[in-house]
Amino acid sequence: MDIKAISFDLDGPLVYMSISVEQYLSNIYEKLGFHFGLEQVSAVYKEVHRWWKERFLSGQPRTHEAWIEYNCRLLEGLGAKGDLQGLSERVLPFWENYPESGNEKLYPEVKGVLRKLREKEISLAIVSQRPLPFSLKSLRKHGIKEYFKCMVSPEIAKAPKGKLSPEMWQFALRKLGVAPAEVLHVDDNHEWISGAKQAGIQPVLIYRKGTQSSTFDCVVIHDLTEIFELL
């Protein structure tokens, strides 16, 4: 069957941050008057992010209160004192501005590939674990919002486990107006693409780190220009 649509994860396939999350957190805390070492921030972030992922995969929604708890756990783990709830509220706007202040970059081939796909009349979508406002900020920053027919996040799709929830893919398919076999999904996370595969969508792993692909049980590309070989 001909491919009529392609969905993309945002982080990895299309964009990347020029500084790490850990460095970004360190910068935030500096602005709030805290001076934590990068190694300390990295260790606490790893632990709290593990908790966050387990919480997310258990089906609990990513509410405002959940984000506050996430930031409270980070601050508590780092040994911050004072009103951690209030500090967490102050941290949230920095997260929302990560695409800008984290100096997010667009991979060099992306705009050309998106333009050619649109010329081929292939519908495009963003299917990301990010909250929708974060995705919108990135697309607007890089001037590529116009290429996408829809954007899908766990919250708007009512998909409690994100890409591991059937609801995520059913929502995307309805928005695109296509059958599962007519869609490719491009992602850089092998765990997430298993959800697409279970939904009958052909997953494509983008592996920018090298040329070895024998360990993966799906189609592998190394930059987006190779997508045209699959059409």
What tens digit of pLDDT does each residue of 47-102 get?
999 998 888 778 787 788 989 999 999 999 999 988 999 999 999 888 878 877 77
CATH 1.10.150 matches 21-101: yes
For residues 100-129, average pLDDT: 94
Q: Is residue 193 predicted with pLDDT exceeding 70?
A: yes
- Confidence class of residue 7 from pLDDT cuts 50, 70 and 90? very high
Q: CB-based contacts of 174: which residues, under 8 Å, 6+ apart?
A: none
Percent of the chain's residues with pLDDT above 70: 97
Domain with CATH 3.40.50.1000 in the chain: 5-17+104-230
Residue 6 near residue 117, CB atoms below 8 Å = yes
pLDDT at 111 over 60: yes
Tell me the per-residue pLDDT of 203-223, one tens digit each, with 9 for 90 and over. Answer: 999 988 765 555 667 889 999
CB atoms within 10 A of CB 191: 11
* pLDDT score, position 46: 94
Planar angle of CA 226, 175, 110, nearest 5 degrees: 25
Q: What does the pLDDT read at residue 194?
A: 86
- Mean pLDDT score of the chain, rounded to an integer? 91
Q: What is the pLDDT of residue 226?
A: 95
Q: What is the pLDDT of residue 55?
A: 85
The whole-number pLDDT of residue 210 equals 66
User: Which superfamily is assigned to 5-17+104-230 in CATH?
Assistant: HAD superfamily/HAD-like (3.40.50.1000)
Backbone angles phi, psi at 132, to 5 degrees: -55, -45
3-state secondary structure of 185: strand
* pLDDT above 70: residue 130: yes
The reported pLDDT for the residue numbered 23 is 92
Q: Are 126 and 148 in contact (CB under 8 A)?
A: yes
Instruction: Give the pLDDT of residue 1.
Output: 62
Can you tell me the distance from the alpha carbon of 203 to that of 183, in angstroms, rounded to the nearest whole number?
Answer: 9
pLDDT value at position 215? 67
Q: Report, as an integer, the average pLDDT of 149-178.
A: 93
